[in-house]
Amino acid sequence: MLRLLLHRALWALPVALGVVTITFFTARLFGGDPTELYAPPEATDELRAQIREKLGLGDPLLVQYLRYLGEIARFDFGISFTTNQPVGQDLTERLPATLELGLIGLGLGILIGVPLGVIAAVSRERVPDFLVRGITLAGMALPQFWIGLVLIWVFFVILGWLPGPVGRLPIGVPLPEPITGFLLVDLALLRDWEKWRLALLQLVLPAGTLAFAMLAPIARVTRSSMVEALQSDYIRTAVAMGFGRRAIWFRYALRNALLPVVTLVGVLAGYVFGGAVLLESIFGWPGLGQYALQAIESSDFAALQGFVIYAALLYVGTFLLVDMLYILIDPRMRT
């Protein structure tokens, strides 16, 4: 089993290399002349030549590529010209906001989605099943940004129960110096409960939107995998032996049905931790997704490349983790 794990881990390396390579050449092929991004419009040809020299753009593409690989290996993603900071630093600063929103949204999605899937599976083709299937269909078929807008409209514009989409704290309330970067944790550490309440209120709508989008596929996969588990021989045996319904559902069927859910949660985690781009833009959430969007809008290719590589590597890493978890929890994989 150890060999299997090691084998799987080593396999992530060429994929990561492929990701970096494609990003580099996509940006070079489509991005135009990077000099234009650094040079002011009125720059002379001489200045442009100097900039090209400084950026190393005169070298053959292969040399540039190898140098780029070297920089990435040292976590040097270049300087973003919109923030004038190293891209690596930008990403690290914005990561906690994305993680905080993502963890809460995904956590709620699992906590609600798995029970919904179980309820649907055990009441198959009856009213609760149809309700759950309706909810999951809506959750998967609606764009997240639209759900977010409608929730803002109902809870902020009409009812006025929740604050507007202005980020992690209301306008005019300064963010505390980051300790962990997780706002709710930081404010709890500072014992600033009034701000903690404000921050929590800001979080309700974006986290709710994300949770709705996450619970839909989770409930769906739980349901179909649970339906399959309930039809299997070991469940029939358990029924014949007179076990109670609850024991059968939760102790036997659900435990076996959860394997595909683990994979799915891994995929979803890779997605939310890469920054739910549109969601963050709707709610003014200062995370990675918003950073990527700004980079796209201002053609900030250093920032964009850095972000894409970060997100893709995160994806590869999450898949690796899920596969390893799978090897650990599924006895059939230990051959």
Partner 1 sequence: MKRAPFSWSMRIGLGILAVYAAVALLALVWTPHDPLSPGVGDSYLAPSAEFPLGTDRLGSDVLSRLMAGTQYNLGIALVAVSIALAVGSLLGVIAGYYGGPLDIAISRGVEVFQAFPGVLFAMLVAKAVGPGVINIILVLSFVGIPDYVRLARAEVQSRRNWPYAEAARMVGNRSWQVAFRHLLPNSTGPLLAFTSINAAFVSLVTASLGFLGLGLSPNTPEWGNMIARGQDGVMTGEWWVSFFPGLAILGMTGAFYLLGDALSDLTDPRRRR
- Among left, alpha and beta (phi > 0; psi -120 to 50; other), residue 44 is beta
Which of 135, 268, 308, 322: binder of partner 1 (CB under 8 A)?
A: 308
Tokens of 147: 């759900």
Choices 55-63, 151-159, 190-198, 254-262; region in contact with partner 1 by CB under 8 A: 151-159
C-beta of residue 194 within 8 angstroms of C-beta of residue 111 = no
Which of 3, 10, 30, 45: binder of partner 1 (CB under 8 A)?
A: 30
N- to C-terminal Cα separation, the chain: 7
146 in contact with partner 1 (CB under 8 A): yes
155 in contact with partner 1 (CB under 8 A): no
* DSSP secondary structure code for residue 39 in this structure: S
Compute the residue count for the chain.
335
Report the residue number, 50 or 294, with the smaller CB distance to partner 1.
294
Report the residue number, 186 or 315, with the smaller CB distance to partner 1.
315
Taking CB under 8 A as the criterion, which residues in 166-225 touch partner 1? Answer: 224
Q: Which residues of 42-67 are buried (b: 16+ CB within 10 A; e: fewer)?
A: eeeeeebeebbeeeebeeeeeebbee
Write down the least CB distance from residue 72 to partner 1, Å. 15
- d(CA 18, CA 35) in angstroms, rounded, equals 26
Tokens of 178: 């980051």
145 in contact with partner 1 (CB under 8 A): yes
109 in contact with partner 1 (CB under 8 A): no
Number of chain positions touching partner 1 (CB under 8 A)? 45
Which of 142, 175, 262, 327: binder of partner 1 (CB under 8 A)?
A: 142
- d(CA 45, CA 313) in angstroms, rounded, equals 38
- Residues near partner 1, by CB under 8 A: 14-16, 18-19, 22, 26-27, 29-31, 137-138, 140-143, 145-146, 149-150, 152-153, 157-158, 164, 224, 228, 270-271, 274, 277-278, 281, 292-293, 296, 299, 304, 308, 311-312, 315-316, 319
